[in-house]
Amino acid sequence: MQKKLVELIGVTVKIGTTPILQDISLTINKGEQWAIVGRSGSGKTTLAKAIAGEQFHSGKINFYFNGMLAWVEQQHHFKNLSNTSDFYYQQRYNASDADKTLTVAEVLTGYKNAENENVFEHWIDKLHLRPLLERPLIQLSNGQNKRLQLAEALLEQPNLLLLDNPFLGLDVEGRQTLHQIVQSIISTGIHIILITSPGELHEEITHVAVLDNGKIIEAVPKKDYHPLMIPSITNLKLLNDEFIKKLQVTEKPAFNSAVKMIAVNIRYGETQVLKNINWEVKRSERWCVSGPNGSGKSTLLSLVTADNPQAYANEIYLFDRKRGSGETIWDIKRNIGYVSPELHLYFESQVNCYEVIASGFFDTIGLFRPVSDEQHEKIILWMQLLNVSALQQKFLSQLSGSQQRMVLLARALVKNPFLLVLDEPCQGLDEDQSAYFRKLVDEICIAFDTTLIYVSHYKKDIPDVVKHYMELDNGSVLS
């Protein structure tokens, strides 16, 4: 008889009266490596939190090993030098404020001692963290943060490693590197529970559990698993003439170029993040910006969205107006709809989804003024289009990653902006949601003559309407 490693018996989670997990029972034996897959919003992250001891639940979770469990959660959380998490969104681009946050080296120092020095150095190099040791945490890219999270977990030398969607936000090379890391982790005898998408099943995985609507509907050896075990969704709507009429804006844009950069350079201390960038996005053009993690994409977008104060030291034009010529940040933002992978982290924990979407009219992180009847109607329409109507009174912090993403997409779209800036918008969405969203972006751009800047690591996630491409590498535009 196989020896048990982890046993879940009747695990149930409710938030208020809403069931999130229902009667989950699963046995993981020693020597097995499990993946838990399912559609976005199926309950995978809640299950990971329950196993990690971070989510109240009924039922039992029994562990049959000595040692510890390490959890690498989907989102990163870090504190500043005052030991608080009180950050504002633009802070990562302000050099003086960024200095108030811990560096990678300061975070990892606590894990190093005389006994584990070789292990410490091994993982620092394996995870490509050495060049980042002096970087403030708040200036790390999403992929760089993921590598830091992995380092913290592995330096605990756990018996069981629980990875919640670790591939989110990683570029192609980063995903390949992580697959290699997972293989080396397993070879050391550490067990893995991998919460992931169906397309990220590592070759060392031996068993797969399929979660749907909070229930395990299949739990099989990997050889018996097929992606068709995961149900698809078919009830999503696209734009029609009635929606377009209701959402149409009467004001027409009067600009020729949404963005124009001339020999732009951005530097933080000794690190040059952008190098001699020349780029123009003309009205009605749709661009894809790509590049590996840490290549400068987020910094580039921060110049477009008026979040980076170094714009004033460069020659940058937004909507035909030079930065620093008397315009306010709000003059710029009222023309832009924006989504980033980390935007949800800056909202208060008890702001509901209606308020999040409504804040898109005012470009604020939170809702601080009443909405008009016309604005209310548009909020309701976008919630219907993005299939989040049932979430309007739920707190953003209570939602799954994919639900948060769809709510923030509605926030970006609600004012029907002239320029739409979407930074990895399909990150965390399942295949059905991603396909739907790409089609919706195509229709929005065509129906409303919307200018688009779209960031993605993967060609499959790029909408058909995109016809212009720019690739960054190490802060420079590749020719």
| Same domain for 463 and 365 | yes
Q: Which of 136-140, 424-428, 463-467 has the lowest mean pLDDT?
A: 136-140
Closest of 52, 256, 240 to residue 158, by C-alpha = 52
- Integer-rounded Cα Rg, in Å, for the chain is 23
Instruction: Kindly indicate the confidence band of residue 88, based on its pLDDT and cuts at 50, 70 and 90.
Output: very low
| Same domain for 178 and 44 | yes
Residue 97 has pLDDT above 50, yes or no: yes
Count of domains forming the chain: 2
| Same domain for 193 and 171 | yes
What pLDDT, on a 0 to 100 scale, did the predictor assign at position 350? 85
| Same domain for 353 and 223 | no
| Same domain for 468 and 389 | yes
Give the orientation angle of helix 172-187 with respect to helix 142-154, to 10 degrees: 10
216: left (phi over 0), alpha (psi -120 to 50) or beta: beta
| Same domain for 431 and 381 | yes
Buried/exposed 176-186: b ≥16 CB within 10 Å, e otherwise: ebbeebbeebb
| Same domain for 122 and 41 | yes
Distances (CA, A) of 455 to 171, 346, 370, 405, 472: 12, 21, 32, 15, 11
Residue 45 lies in a domain: yes
Q: Read off the tokens for 338.
A: 């924006």
pLDDT digits (tens, 9 = 90+) for 219-231: 999 999 987 777 6
Contacts (Cβ under 8 Å, ≥6 apart) of 263: 276, 277, 278, 314, 315
Share of the chain above pLDDT 70, in %: 91
What pLDDT, on a 0 to 100 scale, did the predictor assign at position 217? 93
pLDDT digits (tens, 9 = 90+) for 56-84: 999 999 999 988 899 998 766 555 555 44
Residue 239 has pLDDT above 80, yes or no: no
Mean pLDDT for the stretch of residues 167-194: 83
| Same domain for 67 and 118 | yes
On whether the CB atoms of residues 451 and 286 are closer than 8 A, the answer is yes
What pLDDT, on a 0 to 100 scale, did the predictor assign at position 205? 93
Residue 372 lies in a domain: yes
On whether the CB atoms of residues 387 and 348 are closer than 8 A, the answer is no
Instruction: Kindly indicate the confidence band of residue 146, based on its pLDDT and cuts at 50, 70 and 90.
Output: confident
CB atoms within 10 A of CB 303: 23
Buried/exposed 99-123: b ≥16 CB within 10 Å, e otherwise: eebbbbeebbeebeeeeeeeebeeb
DSSP conformation class of 136: B
The residue segments making up the domain with residue 33 are 4-229
pLDDT digits (tens, 9 = 90+) for 258-281: 999 999 999 887 789 999 999 999
Mean pLDDT for the stretch of residues 149-154: 88
Distances (CA, A) of 226 to 182, 199, 231, 368: 22, 11, 11, 48
